[in-house]
Structure 1
């Protein structure tokens, strides 16, 4: 993993000129605008909130495309600006796989909803922010099931860590799942450790940046009544900057991990 981090750092420093436009236009801008649109949703009329939600979704797709471009460039730096064309060609396959994985995740949550429904828990008040009363017996089983799902999700996420690079590098679609599963065999625990460390550092860094800067800006400029103000916009810009940096770093790392795992597999096959 240490060598993968070194290769990632080398890639970022050597390809900064090609990375900056992608990171700025396809990740930073959509992330920042999306955060501001999301802040308007709670106080917006239902129709407006629906359109704002659609805007957030479309911006998320743009950001996803940007990550595909970073992945393509990290796999083959010689692509240069043609990495965006590769991202465009592989976007449908990546989106299809994302939908499949989302559906699979939702299917795992269904038993939890069934468990609550059978116990007679009223979930209608969740939309208004009212937490339902859950019997202790159901809470225990729901907690255990939730814990199992979390552990399973972390393990599966580690085994599918290089699924996006496989889509780009191997030009696969659903087959990228099997490809990633095969490549990460024997290194899943190491991948879990790296992913947990990355998540902790990125979340802490983002919270530290937005909390500290946001507190100062809210004191200086005050809070807007409609959820949007100068302070909130500037805070989302700072948060978007930090988030973009970690997104590019994480995306490039997974691409370099894919290359390392692929080389390891080829070396093992040659023996």
Structure 2
């Protein structure tokens, strides 16, 4: 039986014992890209279409660096003896992990197709969806769209729990698309526990991030002002604080899933031997 409390204890022990190896990855591959990305997103608000496209490309590339950083943290959490070799493991597994993420994103986009069909059948002007104004959706169509989103949300939470160790499977088992099946098998029987942990983690991380950015941001905006070009000293300092908080939770969550993967592997091996 997998104990989530034991997994958290192993995660905390790993973080304290490998702080020296984790700090460079967290700072250079997660904190810096996420902070710069947040500021680039602010610049996109008042940018010309061409500049906005370039800024969007920059945000995408920075997201890829952060994704690589999470792979490095995962590799280090799976085998702390690797030390600085974890970055090489992350580089080798990056193409497979990226392919897997693309497949999952395509599936999520495909789940939104029925919404477009329902809106079109209901007579909603699809061109109005491109603007910022809320389209006029008939009540009968709105009910079906709401019910569909509700069902998809419940299923998404369950599927996300079953795929919780998909990235550790990519790194540890050297899989690509096959990591989906691997994660599905490993999480059999513990999905509800994972759902509870993920919901708690999500609530705590969101509240902590909002508390840090809101409180600090309010003070900085009062002192330095908001600026006129979508970015200012106050916004930069606020994104730095928010980036520091989100980086801490990203490393914590990534390490936890890697340790959960190890615990599930041990359970799987014990079951097979029995």
Shorter-normalised TM range: over 0.9
Which of 174, 189, 213 is equivalent to 2:216? 213
Matches within 5 A, 1:1-271: 1-271=4-274
Q: Structure 2: give runs of 5+ residues left out of the alignment.
A: none
Shift, 1:128, TM fit: 3.5
Extract unaligned runs of 5+ from structure 1: none
Cα deviation, residue 126, structure 1:
4.0
Give distance in 2, aligned partners of 1:90 and 1:12.
Answer: 22
Deviation, structure 1 residue 59 = 0.3
CA distance in 2, matches of 1:90, 1:200: 30
Q: Distance in 2 between matches of 1:123 and 1:206?
A: 35
Work out the CA distance in 2 between the residues paired with 1:239 and 1:117: 40
- Report SS of the residue matched to 2:208: helix
Please give the TM-score of this superposition, normalised by the length of structure 2.
0.98
**Alpha-carbon separation, structure 2, partners of 1:131 and 1:40:** 25
Matches of 1:24 and 1:128 in 2, distance apart? 38
Deviation of 1:122 (Å): 2.2
How far 1:115 moved relative to its partner? 0.6
C-alpha displacement of 1:127: 4.1
**Stretches (4+) displaced over 2 A:** 122-128
Equivalences, count: 271
Partners of 1:203 and 1:130 lie apart in 2 by: 27
CA positional deviation for 1:40: 1.1
